[in-house]
Structure 1
Amino acid sequence: MPRISAPFASPAARIALGAFLVILAAVLVWYFFLRGPAPQSPPNPWMGPVPVRVVEASHGEMTVRLRAIGTVTPEANVVVRGRVDGQLQRVAFEEGQMVRKGAVLAEIDPAPYRVRLAQAEGQQQQNLAQLRNAESELARYRTLFEQDSIARQQVDAQAALVEQLRGTLRADQAQVDDARLQLDWTRIEAPISGRVGLRRVDAGNLISSGDADGLVTITQTRPIAVLFTIPERELAEVRAQMAAGRVLQVDAWDRDDRRQIAQGVLRTFDNQIDPATGTVRLKAEFANEDDALFPNQFVNVRMAVGEISGAVTIPADAVQYGSRGSYVYVIEDGRARMRALTLGASDGTMTVVEDGLEGGEQVVLEGLDRLREGREVVLVGEGDEVPGGAPAR
């Protein structure tokens, strides 16, 4: 009968088994006693408190301002043209310079017009001599007529000749005045005060009074106007303020609406509403002494139309709009609460709250995209970044 050997009877098998048990024990000791804590997954920012920046609802006076887009328009824009024909002898201005009304801008060769003036004055002198002679003859004829030496008909004929020569002399005077005027027009003067543009004709060229382009353009920039439009529903308030004699202040801001450029006043409004847009054009005037406004420049306009006393105001960016109307988030006991509002006037930056909010309450301004009713929040200081949040829109 064959002999059956027991497991692990050989020395090699026993050594292998012992090594396995030692390794297993070492692994168990490391797993349960020596290994560090398991790495934790990063926290989910959408599950914890929402960082927000808040602003207090203020209580006090608010200036109601209308906002609009305006275009800077010069009070006058004149194309300077020669009024007589001739050769341009001299250009007396620098491109882009400021000139005053009456300043000499250019000169046309005056020689031909001096000749015409001399001819007209010579003709006038000749007819003046004839008139004096005729008046002397008339005085002699009247003396002879009183002495009954000549007929009445001769006296009347001489008197008619004197009147004829007087009429001729008046026509001569008109010719002299016209020739002198033509001579004066060889000096081209600025018709208004303003800034000259780029010259279109150089000295030495022949120019004509019929030239459409002219010599140069002068644009009046002091003062200067800004044209802008407002909705027709706002016109009644503007008219009421102007009818009461109040001066409405108008501020011009740059294209980015970040820097105030100039300050002026409202002068007038158009006489009709544009039916296509439902707006009416207004005109404001600015002194523009520093030339901050430039013709055809785009500006943002803010016009003050009144004051509201005791108003609760919040930034317009804090207001949200939903299916139930306008609302904001306020902070109560560290949590965000939705508050429905009744809004009033707005100047585009601040909004009046007529109902739903009290002065001093904390209103969420940034971090609104992650908020919901009752969500826990953490307040972020001024100047700190709101992580994962977005400013109000």
Structure 2
Amino acid sequence: MTTRLDDRRAAVRTFFTQGRRRWMLAGALVAAAAGVAYWQYGPSGPGLPGSGSGAPGGMRAPGGPGMNGRPTPVQAKAVRSGELRVFLTALGTVTPVNSVTVRSRVDGELLKFHFQEGQMVKAGALLAEIDPRAYQVQLTQAEGQLAKDQALLANARIDLARYQTLLEQDSIAKQQVDTQAALVRQYAGTVKSDEGQVANARLQLSYTRITAPVSGRVGLRQVTPGNIVHASDATGLVIINQIQPIQALFALPEDNLPAVQKALRSGSTVLVEAWDRAQKNKLATGRLLTLDNQIDTTTGTVKLKAEFANDGKDGTEELFPNQFVNIRLLAETRPDALLLPTAAVLRGSQGTFVFIVRDDGTVTPRPVKLGPVDGEVVAVESGLTAGDKVVVDGTDRLRDGAKVEVVEPTIPAAKKSGGPRKGEQRRGGPGGGRPPAP
């Protein structure tokens, strides 16, 4: 009996011990769930979906002041008034002002070149020579025939003068004088033809010395000395591209045509910039020459042509024929535009807005209407005034009425001294150090 009673008491103790453990586990789970709910839906949490907090008109930004009521650190800049340049962007191709394929105008053996591939040449400079001996022979023959016919003409004129004297003395018939006069005219025509033959032979001989028709940069040779070249060859000898100045062709949508025409009618030079493929480096600055006389109906664009001096100070040219460039055309300059940093602009379901820092250290969202963009600033059409302080960094944790602390961006120690000193630890990230998390 005693053994059975002890077994029952042990079973009862085990039951109550396991029950207490279950209740403790359940209590811990309930406490954890309550903590998560408080963080999610409490005063400092993101809030319920669709709640009225955040930006007006559905422009809601998650987050709020830091935990324990501490203000959120942000960076802010003041809206200012200044000059804004309105650019029209397009894709362009660099083209030479003149591109000439130099060909031989006579047939013959190519003797030698008088240029180095890739060098700059001036108009009229000697480029190549063709064997001139055959054309020199033709010139000599033509000059000989001319001399012969000139002698015949001179003799015929002397005879005509004699016949005319005899006619005055009534010693010969008038028909003989007329026949001699016709012979003089015949020889004069022959001499005229011979002079043309001599001029043609001399011209053909001059073609054996090939000169540059325009100034520019010569390309690679298309044929080597020793080959027989012909006037009918399609490839030619070399190509010369005039690259100083140089031009660029690009197209703009037809909607931009009124702005371009207005800029051209103003009489001032329309500024055009050429940028590289990544739009990080400005290659050259030039001017707008003209635009096409019709709109391409297949693309709805109009072609324009700009000109660049392309005379680099270091002796190299910034632009190269057939190079791809990004074109920026200055269509308008606004002297007193309201300028807003583009980093401050946020977008919601109802449009664009910014966070304004009020005098009491809180922020409020405000819708804005934006205009043209120039680099890191954008024109504000409405919604702000000069002097308004807007948040440019730290907007991801803001909501309407959130308390903020405006901090200045700092330069990391690595940038100041070239790197952390021995024993120091790098702190902060891009844009400066970050304050400790609350």
Shift of 1:106: 0.7
- C-alpha contact 2:112 2:130 (8 A) present in aligned 1: yes
Counterpart position of 2:385? 358
Task: Say which of 287, 294, 307 aligns to 1:285.
Answer: 307
- Between the aligned partners of 2:178 and 2:343, the Cα distance in structure 1 is 97
- Between the aligned partners of 2:252 and 2:77, the Cα distance in structure 1 is 31
Over 3 Å counting, the alpha-carbon distance change for 1:381 and 1:295 in structure 2 is: farther
Counterpart position of 2:364? 337
Deviations 1:112-158 (A, max 9, x none): 11001101111111111111111111111222222222222222222
Secondary structure of the corresponding residue to residue 162 of structure 2: helix
- Between the aligned partners of 1:150 and 1:380, the Cα distance in structure 2 is 125
Q: CA RMSD in A?
A: 2.5
Task: Say which of 102, 120, 143 aligns to 1:121.
Answer: 143
Task: Write the letter of the residue equivalent to 1:299.
Answer: V
- Between the aligned partners of 1:258 and 1:380, the Cα distance in structure 2 is 30
Secondary structure of the corresponding residue to residue 165 of structure 2: helix
Over 3 Å counting, the alpha-carbon distance change for 1:315 and 1:178 in structure 2 is: farther
- C-alpha contact 1:85 1:207 (8 A) present in aligned 2: yes
Equivalent residues in 2 for 1:144-155 (5 A)? 144-155=166-177
Shift of 1:224: 0.2
Counterpart position of 1:382? 409
Task: Write the letter of the residue equivalent to 2:331.
Answer: V
- C-alpha contact 1:366 1:386 (8 A) present in aligned 2: no
Shift of 1:348: 5.5
Over 3 Å counting, the alpha-carbon distance change for 1:64 and 1:163 in structure 2 is: same
- C-alpha contact 1:367 1:386 (8 A) present in aligned 2: no
Tell me the percent identity: 51
Counterpart position of 1:170? 192
Task: Write the letter of the residue equivalent to 2:334.
Answer: I
Q: TM-score, normalised by structure 2?
A: 0.74
- Between the aligned partners of 1:354 and 1:180, the Cα distance in structure 2 is 74
- C-alpha contact 2:272 2:286 (8 A) present in aligned 1: yes
Deviations 1:172-197 (A, max 9, x none): 11111111111100011111111111
Equivalent residues in 2 for 1:197-208 (5 A)? 197-208=219-230
- Between the aligned partners of 2:410 and 2:330, the Cα distance in structure 1 is 30
- Between the aligned partners of 1:296 and 1:379, the Cα distance in structure 2 is 50
- Between the aligned partners of 2:398 and 2:166, the Cα distance in structure 1 is 121
Task: Say which of 171, 193, 210 aligns to 1:188.
Answer: 210
- C-alpha contact 1:52 1:386 (8 A) present in aligned 2: no
Q: Is 2:183 aligned against 1:158?
A: no
Secondary structure of the corresponding residue to residue 204 of structure 1: coil
- Between the aligned partners of 2:353 and 2:253, the Cα distance in structure 1 is 25
Over 3 Å counting, the alpha-carbon distance change for 1:386 and 1:151 in structure 2 is: same
Aligned length: 347
Runs of 5+ unmatched residues, structure 2? 1-43, 47-62, 412-429
- Between the aligned partners of 1:297 and 1:208, the Cα distance in structure 2 is 32
Over 3 Å counting, the alpha-carbon distance change for 1:357 and 1:161 in structure 2 is: same
- C-alpha contact 2:104 2:230 (8 A) present in aligned 1: yes
Q: Which moved more, 1:45-54 or 1:163-172?
A: 45-54
- Between the aligned partners of 1:83 and 1:380, the Cα distance in structure 2 is 76
